[in-house]
Amino acid sequence: MDTWQKYAAELLGTFVLVFGGTTAVIASIGSGLGLLMISFAFGLALLAGLYAFGEVSGGHFNPAVSLAMFLDGRLSSRDLVRYWGTQFAGGILGALVLWVATSRGAVKLTATVPGPTGDGTAFLIEFVFTAIFVSVILQASVSGQFGGSALLAIPLTLVAVHLAAIPFSGASVNPARTFGPDLVGWTWNGIWIYLIAPPLGAVFAVGVHKYVRGGIAGKPAAPTAAVLSEPDSPAT
């Protein structure tokens, strides 16, 4: 697989995730089903991105996931930096297209912001739920084959994360998902939380995963849903 194709897949997959999820945020206003609509929209958008692009790049679509793959020995440092760049670009592109379709004010409504319980709670929620999400991805990438149970387990975990975390932190667990709408909508409420807590949660998840699996977590596995570099990648 050519390098540019992997990076294009990460950009497009992140775009699908951010655009699909944030459009549902706008669509849910006044529906009375906001929590359910948004949660399932993000999960299904991730599922769509995985089916469309997951086998090309590994389907990270999230800088925190790529960091975990790098720390677990499955992604090279060069690819880590470039994946980050394309993921943030995909998040920005998703927010820009939503702006064109609606308005800049609408994009502002899609920002992840701390809930009424405050920044501390939002930080903890983002840290813990990112760790849970990344832990599922790390294990699914070891035990599952692409197209199998991992393709359901990972998006459904993202649905659960949103159902639980939206009232407290807006449920980001993904710096690219937050940065895109924040930049386009030019609203930076609590941005530090969403740039720091998810990567820290990913680091914690890798440590726990390595400990629980007895030091074999870094063993390369076959390409699976949302997580691995290509088999011929220098990282494998």
Closest CA to 104 of 12, 27, 172, 182: 182
Decide: 79 and 229 in contact? Cβ < 8 Å. yes
Structure tokens at 108: 């502002």
CA distance 152 to 142: 15
DSSP code at position 70: H
Structure tokens at 145: 């084959």
CA distance 67 to 199: 7
pLDDT value at residue 148 = 65
User: Which secondary-structure segment (H or E) carries 154?
Assistant: helix 150-169
* Contact residues for 234 (Cβ-Cβ < 8 A; gap 6+): 76, 78, 79
Decide: 129 and 161 in contact? Cβ < 8 Å. yes
146: left (phi over 0), alpha (psi -120 to 50) or beta: beta
pLDDT value at residue 31 = 86
Print pLDDT tens along the chain (236 aa): 568 999 999 999 999 999 999 999 999 998 888 999 999 999 999 999 999 999 899 999 999 999 999 999 999 999 999 999 999 999 999 999 999 999 999 999 999 999 999 999 999 999 999 999 999 999 887 754 444 677 889 999 999 999 999 999 999 999 999 999 999 999 999 999 999 999 999 999 999 999 987 755 444 433 333 444 343 333 32
The pair phi, psi for residue 99, each rounded to 5°, is -60, -45
pTM of the model: 0.88
CA distance 170 to 1: 36
* Contact residues for 65 (Cβ-Cβ < 8 A; gap 6+): 134, 137, 202, 226, 227
CA distance 189 to 169: 11
User: Which secondary-structure segment (H or E) carries 66?
Assistant: helix 63-71
User: Which secondary-structure segment (H or E) carries 166?
Assistant: helix 150-169
Q: Locate tokens 């775009």: which residue?
A: 15
Instruction: Provide the sign of the torsion angle of the four alpha carbons 77, 78, 84, 87, taken in this order.
Output: negative
DSSP code at position 82: H
CA distance 36 to 40: 6
CATH superfamily name and code, 3-212: Glycerol uptake facilitator protein. (1.20.1080.10)
